[in-house]
Structure 1
Amino acid sequence: MTDPKNNPNKQRRSFFWQRKPILMPESAKLVNPVEGSPRKAHPWYRPTLLKAAVVVLAVLAILPKTANGQFGIDTAAILAALSKMQSLMNTFIATPLRTINQYEQSVAKYEQEVMYPLAAINQAKSSVMQFENQFNQVSGMFRVNVSSATLPQSQNLESLLLSRNAANVPVLAGQFQNVYGVVMAQNAASPQTRTMTDMTDAQAQDAMKRAIEIDALSDAELNEANQMGQQISEAAPGSAPILEAEADVWLVRANAYTQAALAELMRTRGIDLENQSAITKLATADNTTNNGLINGALTNR
């Protein structure tokens, strides 16, 4: 009987993971079991318990005992650098910022106590409110009825002149003719007299229309002034320059309206003077004609 330890057909299992049965070749089945066969040599790389232990010991011997983090930089060096950076920031950043903060606080205190004191602002607001109340009382004087005409036609014209509504300007010509009449007929007066009368009537109507427009503009300016006064009494100190600029714009507009009214007044005065001059010229022409007629009559006698 063959010794089991020296049996060449014995299946050998791997030590770690691969455990595949070793199949006997077909030639081995034909061999007589009585006859012995030589034992095969195993390769050197076949895993065994001893080889595995040797490999583990070698790896443990090669591995380092200690390791430094942060790519080999020591933690103490990092902390020292951070401390140095903090010191530099406190020296070159925190100190200037602290100085700037103190300067801003002093400027704000100066503005609050000297430039824009709260007591003075409240006093100015109360003064504005008093001025607005007084102005509202004075503005009522502009609404006093000054109508004086007694006849129907003249009353209609006067109501248009005092209406303070620019929409009534186109209607004024008809009411003007109802009161002052139209230019005389062609054969009723000389051409010079008719022309002078037509120009006088035209300038009179222009002045009346301009008066209505200026009254309407004055109402608009007064309303805007009231709104500005209300805004000033409620506005913050920082918005005062904006309101002042808007008031300056309205002041320029008011000056322009005043200039337009002055120009109309000058035109009316010019027409009046020219009428007096034209009357003198017509009188001179009539005297010359009369003198010629008298001289002719005396000569013919």
Structure 2
Amino acid sequence: MTDLKKNLTKRPKPFFSGRREHLTPEAAKRASSFEETILQHSWYRPTLLKALVVAFGLLIILPQRASGQFGIDTAAIIAALQKMQSLMSTYMAAPLKTINQSEQSIASYEQKVMYPLTAINQAKSAVMQFESQFTNLNNMFHVNVSSATLPQSQSFETTLLSRNANNVPAISSQYQSVYGVVMAQNTASPQVRTMTDMTDTQAQDAMKRALQIDNLAESELTEATQMGQQIKQAAPGSAPIIEAEADVWVVRANAYTQEALAELMRTRGVDLANQSGIAKLATSDSTNHNGVVTGTLTNR
């Protein structure tokens, strides 16, 4: 029997196509004889081969089960997460719950006792009423009180009531235009000229200081109005800050008041000094007159 595996004239049958190749009559005769021999001896081999190939292809095509997390077991991960959750619930959740309860108690105490909403609204309403009253007082503070009728005195009065400290340098010239200058040297005694100069000086100083204090009072009223507006819109926690700023302005106002009082005392001191000087001059004049009278009577 001829070995089929060593037969060089055989031609394999195409696997995926039923189309036969065009063969010569002699080759076709040999192929027909070969196929008959195959069918007689191994009819089952092509069918088995096809089944194996199809099965192998299905194994390649069908999806395989994959393991996530780089092959780590999911059950182990879930167990670790559960353990972590248990530890957090034991050692973190309980203290955080206690802290939360404490904060809620403090917040409730502040809202109901320290900063009750009703009291805050009442305070805001009172501030608005006070601001309305302060506005009326401010309008009264700016009422026109000018009374001079002559041109020079009207100009001087306007400067004194301007509430503008920048007008201080103009007071001296306007004062001299209204009250005049110190007498000439040969028209009065040196004592009278000195007293007159000191009186004019103190009068001008007091007027200048009064103008400065008016300007300061205007600034304080403006600042007080701004603070009132801030207090109406301020939160309860910011009230101490505004209160501290108001205390600073109170200290400044006291300083300005002390300065005005000192100027008033200087003016009063000059007035008393003038009265004392007048008495001294009168005494000196009386002494001189007595001497003149005595001398006249003696010469007779």
Whether the TM-score (by the shorter chain) exceeds 0.5 is yes
Following superposition of structure 1 onto structure 2, how do residues 69-108 of structure 1 map, counting pairs within 5 Å? 87=86, 89-108=88-107
Matching residue's letter, 2:228:
G
Matching residue's letter, 1:260:
E
Following superposition of structure 1 onto structure 2, how do residues 1-301 of structure 1 map, counting pairs within 5 Å? 87=86, 89-301=88-300
1:201–1:79 CA distance, 2 compared to 1 (3 A)? same
Matching residue's letter, 2:229:
Q
State the alpha-carbon separation in 1 of the partners of residues 140 and 79 from structure 2: 85
Q: How far has the Cα of 1:77 moved from its partner?
A: 9.9
Q: How far has the Cα of 1:149 moved from its partner?
A: 1.2
State the alpha-carbon separation in 1 of the partners of residues 238 and 180 from structure 2: 56
SS in 2 for 1:128: helix
State the alpha-carbon separation in 2 of the partners of residues 201 and 285 from structure 1: 23
Scaled by the length of structure 1, the TM-score of the pair is 0.71
Residue by residue over 1:195-254, the C-alpha shift from the partner in whole angstroms, topping out at 9 and shown as x without a partner, is: 000000000001111111111111111011001000100111111111111111111111
State the alpha-carbon separation in 2 of the partners of residues 176 and 78 from structure 1: 98
Residue by residue over 1:47-100, the C-alpha shift from the partner in whole angstroms, topping out at 9 and shown as x without a partner, is: xxxxxxxxxxxxxxxxxxxxxxxxxxx999999887776555444433222111
State the alpha-carbon separation in 2 of the partners of residues 183 and 255 from structure 1: 36
Residue by residue over 1:114-162, the C-alpha shift from the partner in whole angstroms, topping out at 9 and shown as x without a partner, is: 1111222122112111110111012111111111111111111111111
Structure 2 residue runs of 5 or longer lacking an equivalent are 1-72
Report the number of matched residues. Answer: 230
Q: How far has the Cα of 1:260 moved from its partner?
A: 0.9
SS in 1 for 2:186: coil
Higher helix share: 2
Matching residue's letter, 2:200:
D
Scaled by the length of structure 2, the TM-score of the pair is 0.71
State the alpha-carbon separation in 1 of the partners of residues 149 and 74 from structure 2: 109
SS in 1 for 2:288: helix
State the alpha-carbon separation in 2 of the partners of residues 208 and 249 from structure 1: 27
Matching residue's letter, 2:292:
L
1:87–1:273 CA distance, 2 compared to 1 (3 A)? same
Which residue number corresponds to residue 43 of structure 2?
none
- Aligned-residue Cα RMSD (Å) equals 2.3
